Structure 1
Amino acid sequence: MIMIIMKSGICRAFVPDTGCGVTQWFAFGGEMAASMSCYYGQTASTIEIEAETDCEMFIVDKPTLENLCSTQIILRNNL
């Protein structure tokens, strides 16, 4: 499980189908992108994420994020 923290750019989250996929949401610079129910439930996500523009992002795996939340109260209070 991962969480994406967008530094810049635009990403689209969608559920694939036989066409272009059904858009669920967009993430912009300064926002997070993840399927939180899958993240906390530790289940595979049916959502795919693609870059709509050039992007800079941080990819954070679950153990790293949990470690950060245990030491950084601002993260713990906002997730």
Structure 2
Amino acid sequence: MLVFSRGQEESADLAALDTLQRHYGHVAGATTFFTIMQEQYAAKDETEKLPTWLLSHPKLQYRIDAINARIDMNNWYKGQVVPKQ
């Protein structure tokens, strides 16, 4: 069952990426959420585990790599995100 759920999550990630590109004309910041999560869980004590809901999802680095591969394949802009002030 995990493979089915992980496949759905990967499809959702890529659909969201396509939506970002169509809406904003770039995908800057697309991996930020996953990178922050990865850093937070890497810094935790080894006795602390990932939340149960995350176990059915693809590994964070895999998600980052898949998103970056789609960006590179389409030659989309992924530079810096600058918040509006």
Q: Same fold (TM over 0.5)?
A: no
Instruction: Give me the TM-score of the superposition, normalised by structure 1.
Output: 0.26
From the two aligned structures, give the one with the greater strand fraction.
1
From the two aligned structures, give the one with the greater helix fraction.
2
- Which is greater in Rg? 2
Instruction: Give me the TM-score of the superposition, normalised by structure 2.
Output: 0.25
